Homo-oligomer: A and B are copies of this chain.
Amino acid sequence: MDATVFQNISPLDHRYQVSDPPLAAQLRRYLSEDAFVRFQLQVEVALTETLAARGLCSTAAAEAVRRAAAAVTPGEVYEEEQKTRHNVRALVNAIRERVPEEARPYVHFTATSMDILDTARALQYKAVTREVLLPRLGRLLQAWIDLARREAHTLQIGRTHGQHAVPVTFGFAVAEYVARLGERMERLAAAAANLRGKMAGAVGAYNAAALFFPDPDAFEREVLGRLGLEPGEHATQVVAPEYITDYVHALVSCFGVLANFADDMRHLQRTEIAETGEAFDPQQVGSSTMPHKRNPWNFEHVKSLWKTFMPRMMTVYMDQISEHQRDLTNSASSRFIVEIAAGLALAAGRLARESERLAVDQEAMARNLALTRGMIVAEPLYILLASLGHPDAHEAVRRLTLEAEGSGRPLVEVVQEHEELGPYLARLTPEQRQVLADPQRYSGIAARRALEICRRWQDRLAELVRQPAEG
């Protein structure tokens, strides 16, 4: 292990970099400062190429810029910045030093720094979304689809307020997350696709470009088109902030779905419930002092990451406000947005791994389901009585449950002693009667619904996730 990594301050750059090296490598490829400089270079290249296409400069000049851009390193840029105290000017100088004199004027020609930076950010977020986030989330979605299908018919008590309510199936419970995650992935893909670039100059009015072109907005479209981007409808020095605001909202609200699943799993792993459990490596230590512990620490970790990154949305909302044609108070803060993407990628990776190997204890589910000795029959009983015209079915059944609870006997038994209910019960259909006899069957269309949801998202998954080119 590289010793310098432990000299870093951010856990993203030491602990979480060390914990999953392939993911760390992949994230670095898109989210590191090195990567960001490379995205900026792409924008400078597209600019000069468009100038050449319009005849403003020679194709040789554009070619020289392309070659220079491939060679520039962030270290060089940072060294130059020591002098200029301006990061994009430093980048421009680094390119200029590597091109023939006649090409130099066309580097960054008519552009302002934020044309480069905002466009590079859009490229960066789109790339990390397409190449890292959606594939990682896709693996998670697949794990949940597989789990929901496998457990589609496994009865589990439904819990509301932490109390036993009426049955569902475990697959149905997991299908909730399939549906919610799938929907969020679509939102994330849409928000990433809607990110915009700009090439509209220092105050967004194309002041410089208009000196050379009668149609500087068409010129902007050409530059951005080479990068697969569109401009916003209006820009100041910067792209209108709502595109990125929506994008981070998509990240953060997707994170919430992961955190909710993690929370459910860690509660289902409680010693008294024990319906699910994280797979446990035989060598693994649960506690430094309690050798018997098996903690849901991965699920806890995901919840903890959510708590870390979710509040950062506030920064993004604050950054919607920029004075006049722009103040710079979003400059440092926007540099930290990459961390949110990294956090979500980490959480998705961790959760996918644990979901794939989740231990499900169907026996425990059955045992818990039986725990209230048929008290869950209260709901169908009340509704069936009501449907047969009982004038006050809810209140009648509520009293029966108190009686059952008081005497410690199954509710169905208590019911049969109440002769006044006989006439109603006699009119039940066989299927209805069966539900009362075996309340565990009272799971509605849980299994069917789970399978439908899985089918739908299995179909959409391929569209959502493009296989990443590498890593």
Contact = CB atoms under 8 A, between A and B. Distances in A.
A271 B162 contact: yes
Given A256-B320, A328-B161, A398-B291, A167 B3 contact: no
Given A14-B33, A315-B311, A326-B161, A394 B180 contact: no
Contact of A311 (B202, B264, B311, B411): B311
Contact of A105 (B28, B320, B342, B391): B391
Interface in A260-317: 260, 263-264, 266-273, 281-297, 300-301, 303-305, 307-308, 310-315, 317
A242 interface: yes
Contacts of A335: 11, 15
Given A234-B176, A320-B260, A379 B300 contact: no
Interface string A328-372: 111111011011001000000000000000000000000010011
A397 B290 CA distance: 9
Contacts of A372: 271, 292
A444 interface: yes
Contact of A9 (B74, B284, B322, B339): B339
B402 A324 contact: no
A257 B339 contact: no
Interface stretch (A63-71, A132-140, A207-215): A207-215
Contacts of A205: 158, 166-169, 172, 443-446, 449
Given A315-B307, A444-B216, A289 B383 contact: yes
Nearest to A252: B317
A15 B375 CA distance: 32
Contacts of A310: 314, 317-318
A423 interface: no
Given A234-B180, A242-B253, A307-B319, A292 B401 contact: yes
B161 A266 contact: yes
A160 interface: yes
A443 B267 CA distance: 24
A179 interface: yes
Nearest to A266: B162
A110 B1 CA distance: 31
Interface in A361-415: 368, 371-372, 375-376, 378-380, 382-384, 386-395, 397-398, 400-402, 411
B292 A307 contact: no
Contacts of A111: 288-289
Contacts of A389: 102, 105
A211 B377 CA distance: 12
B112 A74 contact: no
Contact of A184 (B102, B201, B242, B269): B242
Max chain B Cβ within 10 angstroms of own Cβ: one of A286, A319, A444: A444
A79 B209 contact: no
Contacts of A294: 163
B300 A206 contact: no
Max chain B Cβ within 10 angstroms of own Cβ: one of A10, A164, A184: A10
Interface string A157-190: 1111111111111001101101110011001000
Contacts of A105: 386-391, 393
A421 interface: no
Contacts of A202: 158, 160, 165-166, 287, 289-290, 379
A436 B368 CA distance: 30
9 contacts: A1-B78, A85-B283, A109-B386, A111-B289, A159-B270, A160-B237, A205-B444, A216-B444, A290-B379
